Amino acid sequence: MEKHFEILKETIRSHCQGKRVLFIPNRGNWGDALIRSGTLKFLHEARIDFTEIRKLDPTKIHQLEKQHLILYGGGGAWCNLWDHSGIVAELSQSNTVIVLPSTFELQPRFENTLFFSRDRFTSLQNVPKATFCHDMAFYLGIDFHPKKAGKGEGYFFRTDPESTNCIQLPKKNRDISRLGKHLSRVTGFFRIVNRYERIFTDRLHVSIAGCLLGKEVHFYPGSYFKNEAVFKSSMEEQFEFVHFHKDFALPHRDEMSSRRASQ
């Protein structure tokens, strides 16, 4: 993953000469906090001098000073369900904007804007000029949180409009991404995921947390292509114990036992 983050770093450096750099995290849930935390770690380690705009009132964008380099946080804000593209459209009128690794269901075409895609597939078809880079949550790294073996199965399926509603939710399902916001601390998120040996989820950042913690992850589709695209781009060849399921069926215990025995 390192070479793709290096490309992102050099792109930012090449555009920040003589400009004040502002980082605006994408608004969202607790999973988006992993993106923000990974981005902050990345910017600090890259020694990029920046100011974070933690809370941006969309009605007051015009009050920001002009001619800055704006780093707009990555995420899923470019789909039909959650469309934050209007913010970037307005920012790009008087600033250079770099949209950090995101999924693009929509097809934005803005001036003064560079796009980074967190998948190599449909997002790049929708925004052909985008550059691939892994989701910024991966930058937290495999050593971010102390690992433990954990016990049993943790179920973390969506209960919001991005759910396919094709999976019968287990009684112990806990949609932890809805328990926090993009500005929340992420240690609690990792602590919850770390309790379990096996993770079942259609939440992208629960899956990423599971990968970074070395869990056995069973990952399922959401309402559009995002999950499978990121799985193929960043997980399939990087993490040994993550499995993507297209059939929406939760594996039986005997099936999981045989899979672990074969590994």
Separation CA 243–CA 255 (nearest Å): 13
Clarify whether residues 162 and 257 are in a common domain: yes
In a domain, 136, yes or no: yes
In a domain, 257, yes or no: yes
Q: Torsions phi, psi of 219, nearest 5?
A: -110, 135
Residues in the chain predicted with pLDDT less than 70, given as ranges, are 59, 62-63, 65, 144, 251-263
Clarify whether residues 228 and 196 are in a common domain: yes
Other CB atoms closer than 10 Å to residue 132's CB: what's the count?
A: 18
Clarify whether residues 43 and 103 are in a common domain: yes
pLDDT for res 73: 97
Clarify whether residues 112 and 26 are in a common domain: yes
Q: Which domain holds residue 7?
A: 2-140
pLDDT for res 112: 92
* Pairing state between β 153-156 and 131-132: unpaired
Q: How many domains does the chain have?
A: 2
* Pairing state between β 113-117 and 69-72: unpaired
pLDDT for res 254: 45
pLDDT for res 257: 46
In a domain, 146, yes or no: no
In a domain, 145, yes or no: no
pLDDT for res 192: 96
Q: Are 170 and 217 in contact (CB under 8 A)?
A: no
pLDDT for res 66: 75
Clarify whether residues 10 and 54 are in a common domain: yes
- The CATH number for 47's domain is 3.40.50
CA 256, chain centre distance (Å): 27
Clarify whether residues 132 and 206 are in a common domain: no
Using the 3D structure, point to which of 91, 108, 140 is the last residue of a domain: 140
Clarify whether residues 228 and 115 are in a common domain: no
pLDDT for res 260: 47
pLDDT for res 143: 72
Using the 3D structure, point to which of 79, 112, 140 is the last residue of a domain: 140
In a domain, 251, yes or no: yes
Clarify whether residues 17 and 109 are in a common domain: yes
For the chain, the DSSP string reads -HHHHHHHHHHHHHH-TTS-EEEEPPP-BHHHHHHHHHHHHHHHHTT---EE--S--GGGGGGSPSSPEEEEPPSS-BSSSSB-HHHHHHHTTTSEEEEEEE-BSS----TTEEEEESSSSHHHHHSTT-EE---GGGGG-TTSS------SEEEE---STT--S-S---TT---GGGGSBTTS-SHHHHHHHTT-SEEEES-HHHHHHHHHTT-EEEE---SSTHHHHHIIIIITTT-TTEEE-SS-PPPPHHHHHHHHHH-
Separation CA 91–CA 113 (nearest Å): 9
In a domain, 148, yes or no: no
Clarify whether residues 110 and 169 are in a common domain: no
